[in-house]
Amino acid sequence: MKIFGIFGDPIEHSLSPAMQNAALLALGETACYHAFRVSREDLSAAILGAKAMGFSGLNLTIPLKEKALQLDILEPDPLASAIGAVNTISFTKSGMVGYNTDGWGALRALYDAGVEIRGKMALIIGAGGAARAIAYTLQQEDAEISIANRSIKKAQELAAQVDACGFGLSDLERLVDKADIIINCTSVGMRMGDPRLLRTGLLKSSQAAFDIIYNRETEFLQDARAAGAVAVDGVMMLVHQGAKALEIWTGKKAPVQVMERAVREALRAKQTGQG
């Protein structure tokens, strides 16, 4: 039996066990994927413990992704180093390698929705961990990037690393008007009743709006659909980052549709109080 896991704190909300167990079953693997609550302080011991117990792969989530990069027990791949965060660990005979598959997940979600990226103007709202991964990935795809964040200093720091411009949220309306692709990488919209990220009526049918939040249909996405824009939700990013991790661990092509179905079913069960 192969064992896989996800470490985070909190971790009860994670949809990865439902998604990855469905995928492992579809691949015919005798395996299980479990969620473990691990604090930042215990991360190194927990990873070493997983290695000692013969785990086949690990995912890391909030608040462990950046901490993992500081541990000298892991060898990060160049993309994870550039992004400054690890969300996937593979155990090999020679050691433990850290990857970041979040940016890949976002890229696949955009391409699946038919969104062109090369040469397009992409506005990233937010400058946290997910924004970093997406900014590095879009830079590699030759998008023209702007970054707007509540803390303008963080926007400017990230912008300097990806050859972009950084702004505060007071510039948002002007930036939205000029953008081809608008990506919400903040946590605004996760909870019903959150303040609006943008006022209604700003989005246009020629634009693509991508909200990486996956637990509910946000007001940002509702506005995008109402405007006739391409609207992409965060579920497909979650699915594709998980699919990439699974492919790293198993070398097999991930069953993306099975994974998407498992995530959407788990979300429905949560919303109806059965999850």
Binding segment for ligand NAP (CB under 6 A), chosen from 137-145, 232-240, 254-262, 265-273, is: 232-240
Q: Which two tokens stand for residue 260?
A: 């998407």
Contact letters (x/-) for ligand NAP, 62-81, by CB under 6 A? x-------------------
Q: CA angle, 232 as apex, 187 and 266 as ends, to 5°?
A: 70
| Residue 29 near ligand NAP by CB under 6 A | no
Return the number of the residue (65 or 120) whose C-beta is nearest ligand NAP.
Answer: 65
**Which one of residues 128, 141, 161, 264 is an interface residue with ligand NAP (CB under 6 A)?**
128
Strands 75-76 and 165-167: unpaired
Return the number of the residue (119 or 147) whose C-beta is nearest ligand NAP.
Answer: 147
| Residue 231 near ligand NAP by CB under 6 A | no
Contact status, residue 183 vs residue 122, Cβ threshold 8 Å: yes
Distance, in Å, from the CA atom of 132 to the CA atom of 124, rounded to the nearest integer, reads: 9
Binding segment for ligand NAP (CB under 6 A), chosen from 23-31, 158-166, 171-179, 230-238, is: 230-238
Distance, in Å, from the CA atom of 18 to the CA atom of 33, rounded to the nearest integer, reads: 8
**Which one of residues 151, 206, 257, 271 is an interface residue with ligand NAP (CB under 6 A)?**
151
| Residue 234 near ligand NAP by CB under 6 A | yes
Contact letters (x/-) for ligand NAP, 178-217, by CB under 6 A? -------xxxx-x---------------------xxx---
Q: Which of 2, 51, 65, 204 is catalytic?
A: 65
Evaluated on CA atoms 102, 48, 74, 62, the torsion sign reads: positive
Direct distance between the N- and C-terminal alpha carbons of the chain, in angstroms, rounded to an integer: 26
Annotated catalytic residue 65 = yes
Distance, in Å, from the CA atom of 9 to the CA atom of 36, rounded to the nearest integer, reads: 8
DSSP assignment of 126-170, as one string? --SHHHHHHHHHHHHTT-EEEEE-SSHHHHHHHHHHTT-EEE-GG
Return the number of the residue (213 or 262) whose C-beta is nearest ligand NAP.
Answer: 213
Catalytic sites, residue numbers? 65
Residues at the interface with ligand NAP (CB under 6 A): 62, 102, 105, 126-131, 149-151, 154, 185-188, 190, 212-214, 234, 237-238, 241
